[in-house]
Amino acid sequence: MVDRPYYVRKEINRLRKKKNAIILAHYYQDEAIQDVADFVGDSLELARKATETDAEIIVFAGVYFMAETAKILSPNKKVLLPDLLAGCSLADNCLPDDFAAFKAKHPNHKVVTYINTSADIKAMSDYVCTSSNAEKIIRSIPEDQPLIFAPDKNLGAYLNKATGRNMVLWDGSCIVHEAFSLEKLIDLVVENPGAKIVAHPESEQAVLRIAHSIGSTSQMRNFIKNSTADTFIVATEVGILHQLSKEVSDKKLIPAPSREDNSCACSECAFMKMNTLDKVYRCLRDETPEVYVESSLAVEALKPIEKMLQLS
């Protein structure tokens, strides 16, 4: 009997060499996808990698806005997304017409948008940021310049507090980072004395208030690797634990608990998990589904993205 996962991995390796392809995967992807990827990273790291690669084909194991950003940064490369329906609660709930009307209500404001947005929203923005560089980018803007921040209100509130700004916030949120149960989290702390809570800034303010460290996925990883503590409660999508468990095998990693009682007692992104190893194989084999961005839109969306990369 054929070992299907082994066959798929073998074919992926053969096809990527034959086609000069690279597989980029976000930390929130399924473990099997992370293991076959050429590079695993957060949004900023993946954006940089998309600009640096010599590959002719980019297989982007993430969600749609990430693949779209890669296409904007590398318009001459073929960008494939294993499942075109892999969306994002932040991007999908910040629609162009609605955001244009919101922006029109604040005519003197510059717009800072989180990378978790569509190309249309990026094209309306003055700056794009990730959770890794958001604070740095906001601090680079004159203090007397009024700002709009979209689409994540939790990240925006955290940044307002960190920078002393009073940015106008779009009312959006991440379904993963709003799913944590504060009550269950406190119970975990009681059960694990000395455990450090590390949280993504998209989390709700109640969670951030009790966190020992707040940062992007990469910043969380660095904190855990460099800390002398031996137990960590990790408040972000559970996929990050796969890479971390390899890097800090001597430390105990506990996923922050979700309000819902699910199979992993953690918070998973259903959109990220829409990609599978089989879908990665099929999209590399068939070179579809391909991500397209209309050229004039890509030109406008590229401007704030390039500004972000220069400031980072």
Tell me what percent of the residues of the chain surpass a pLDDT of 90: 92
The answer on whether 202 is annotated among ligand-binding residues is: yes
If residue 74 lies in a helix (H) or strand (E), which one and from where to where?
Answer: none
Instruction: Name the H helices within the chain.
Output: 4-19, 31-36, 43-52, 64-73, 89-92, 96-104, 119-123, 134-139, 153-163, 182-191, 205-209, 217-226, 240-247, 277-286, 295-311
pLDDT at 40: 97
The answer on whether 26 is annotated among ligand-binding residues is: yes
The answer on whether 212 is annotated among ligand-binding residues is: no
Residues 272/46, Cβ–Cβ less than 8 Å: no
The answer on whether 88 is annotated among ligand-binding residues is: yes
The answer on whether 20 is annotated among ligand-binding residues is: no
The answer on whether 200 is annotated among ligand-binding residues is: yes
Residues 291/68, Cβ–Cβ less than 8 Å: yes
Write out pLDDT tens, residues 10-61.
Answer: 999 999 999 999 999 999 999 999 999 999 998 889 999 999 999 999 999 9
Q: What is the DSSP letter of 232?
A: E
The answer on whether 224 is annotated among ligand-binding residues is: no
Q: Is the pLDDT of residue 240 over 50?
A: yes
Q: Rounded mean pLDDT of the chain?
A: 94
Among 43-52, 195-204, 258-267, whose mean pLDDT is lowest? 258-267
Residues 194/231, Cβ–Cβ less than 8 Å: yes
Query: Residue-wise over 53-72: b if at least 16 C-beta within 10 A, else e?
Result: bebebbbbbbbbbbbbbbbb
If residue 111 lies in a helix (H) or strand (E), which one and from where to where?
Answer: strand 110-114
pTM metric for this prediction: 0.92
Write out pLDDT tens, residues 145-194.
Answer: 999 999 999 999 999 999 999 999 999 999 999 999 999 999 999 999 99
Write out pLDDT tens, residues 55-108.
Answer: 999 999 999 999 999 999 999 999 999 999 999 999 999 999 999 999 999 999
**151: its two tokens:** 């689409």
Say how many Å lie between the first and final Cα of the chain, rounded.
50
**CA–CA separation, 62 and 50 (whole Å):** 13
Report the 10 Å Cβ neighbour count for 299. 13
Residues 235/229, Cβ–Cβ less than 8 Å: no
Q: How would residue 259 be classed by pLDDT, with cut points 50, 70 and 90?
A: confident
The answer on whether 192 is annotated among ligand-binding residues is: no
The answer on whether 258 is annotated among ligand-binding residues is: no
Domains of the chain and CATH, by start: 4-86+272-293 (3.40.50.10800), 90-174+298-311 (3.40.50.10800), 182-255 (3.40.50.10800)
